[in-house]
Amino acid sequence: MIGVLADPSEELVVREFFQLFKTPWEFYDSNREYDVVLSAGDHPFDAARLVLVYAGRKIPFDTQHGFVIASQRSNRVLSYKGNKIPIYGGTVTFSDATGDFLKDGNSGACSAHMSRHEESIVARIGYDLFSEIRTLLTSGQSPANANIPTLELHVALLRDLITDCGLSLFEIPPVPEGYGFIVCLTHDIDNPSIRRHRWDYTICGFLYRAVFGSIGNVLGGRLRFQDLIRNLAAVSKLPFVYLGIAKDFWREFDDCYLDLETDLASTFFVIASKNNCGQRVDGRAQKHRASKYEARDIADTIQKLTAAGCEIGLHGVDAWLDCAAGHEEFEKLRELVGFSEVGVRMHWLYYDDESPVALEKAGADYDSTVGFNETVGYRAGTIQAYKPLQATQLLELPLHVMDTALFYPDYLDLTPNEARVVLNRMVDNAIQFGGCLTINWHDRSLFPERLWEMFYRELLESLKSRRAWFATAGQAVAWFRKRRATVFESDAAEPEAVCARVTSDNAVDSPRLLLRVHGARSHHPTRERGADSYIDLPFEKQVSTNSVSRLAHK
């Protein structure tokens, strides 16, 4: 059990952190004994086998234990076992620190100090843990650090500090039984019909990219010559599409995705009201943000998709800002799909600090907006679904990969080979840390002028080969809710053990949870190691930590 000391203002942050690092903990009680005490700042506490003190400034604790501060500043990038950990608040480095496992990425100065006092190990970590978690879950990361799963690295560091100091650790990892990680395939439905666009912003962009953009992409190795011919042919057919003589090739997105994603769950986010560009905080949004369709216009497609097991969510316009307008959008979609629980992703990823409250009041079951338009990666620093600090029940399923961010010239402008490298690294992170990799491939991305079908097909095959559980966004969120509903409590049959018990389970058809025990390691905490030493035991309702421990020692 970890006893946690923190400022009362950080209570929500502490609770959310330990939903993401699902391990036995409680706020520090001076009447109890703890194997691990974690203090965020300078707080009085009794001795423990392991004491972890986080602070990004000099505190009285440093003088009492002989920790000498060498430097103090903000916005430092630390290095931990080859990984970069951006620190957005204050940090300190120490003189004469023991070990160098956590260092300033530039100077090499130690940002952690460890010492042994009789039967206790004291680790002083030179940044404010919960302040950093707050920043990640509210402000988020800049695009410059998008490729770093920062929050997961904070969890990994804490886990390693505990196990490398000779203590075992129990946790419920963000990994479903039988799988390596979760994948959500999602599709924002922005332009389901090219026939609806007549010399507007969308069609002008289509013509430019189909002709001039395609030529440049062929020359730059981003497009095959035969794809250039397909794009030019599509341009030549466009008048006949308007006349109804030729097929509206954007209109076939449902059949194409159902074919590509056979037996794979996916989620389609559709717009509830057309010809509405929506609001920004400072006024009306750009006119070309308005959609030329609404959900009712593709009711037959929505019925086909739901019959095939796909999920339909709301592609919101004003819900992020106006809960009354959002409620109206949700009601329009609910009437069409017949489901009360509907998730949302905002059109153009509009989102601000007040959005979690607005979306929750509007009736969203979950949100999947937090991500980047211009790059791919981890805006909130995590691969897990989390509860925004402003929300009561709403969960955020972060968006990690968007096709336009990968390939558009104004964004990353990657070649297919470059994009494969980026996505392989993100899949590696998902396998290492667990969680859910959320991907957005737009409705028109399989057709002229984009023609990103081949890359997407290869991506699906790669994900299948790496033991991914393909879930709709709603299914993934339900699984995370089940994990969050698990509590650790004393085991009546074995008083010295802890029992993990699921208190609510609405995701009855989802994979089981795992209870993972990390074996204690007696080596020095700065030593690099190979594969983690742990054992997993699946469970549905409850399991005792002693059951896992006995298996671990066989």
State the CATH architecture for 2-171.
Answer: 3-Layer(aba) Sandwich (3.40)
What percent of the chain is helix, strand and coil (3-state, nearest 5)?
35, 25, 40
Task: Say what the pTM is.
Answer: 0.94
The answer regarding whether domain 182-194+247-479 maps to CATH 3.20.20.370 reads yes
DSSP 120: E
Give yes or no for a contact between 31 and 168, defined as CB atoms under 8 angstroms apart: no
Tokens of 398: 């972060």
pLDDT digits (tens, 9 = 90+) for 536-546: 889 888 887 76
Question: Quick one: pLDDT band at residue 530, thresholds 50, 70, 90?
Answer: very low
Strand intervals (E) in 317-467:
344-346, 366-367, 395-396, 401-402, 436-440
- The answer on pLDDT for 531 being more than 50 is no
For residue 116, the model assigns a pLDDT of: 82
For position 322, what pLDDT does the model report? 96
- Please give the Cα distance from 337 to 333 (Å, whole number): 6
Q: For 485, which DSSP code? A: T
Task: Say if CB 311 and CB 268 are below 8 A apart.
Answer: yes
- The domain ranges of the chain are 2-171, 182-194+247-479
Say if 2-171 and 182-194+247-479 have the same CATH topology: no
Task: Tell me how crowded residue 473 is: count the other CB atoms within 10 A of its CB.
Answer: 29
Q: What share of the chain has pLDDT > 90, as a percent? A: 78
Instruction: Please identify which residue in the block is written with the tokens 């035969």.
Output: 226
Write out pLDDT tens, residues 163-211: 988 898 999 999 999 999 999 999 999 999 999 998 899 999 999 999 9
548 contacts 535 by C-beta, under 8 angstroms = yes
Residue 549 has pLDDT above 60, yes or no: no
- What local confidence, expressed as pLDDT, does residue 265 receive? 92
Q: How far apart, in whole angstroms, are the C-alpha atoms of residue 88 and residue 547? A: 41
Instruction: Specify whether the CB–CB gap between 344 and 359 falls below 8 A.
Output: yes
| DSSP label at residue 447 | S
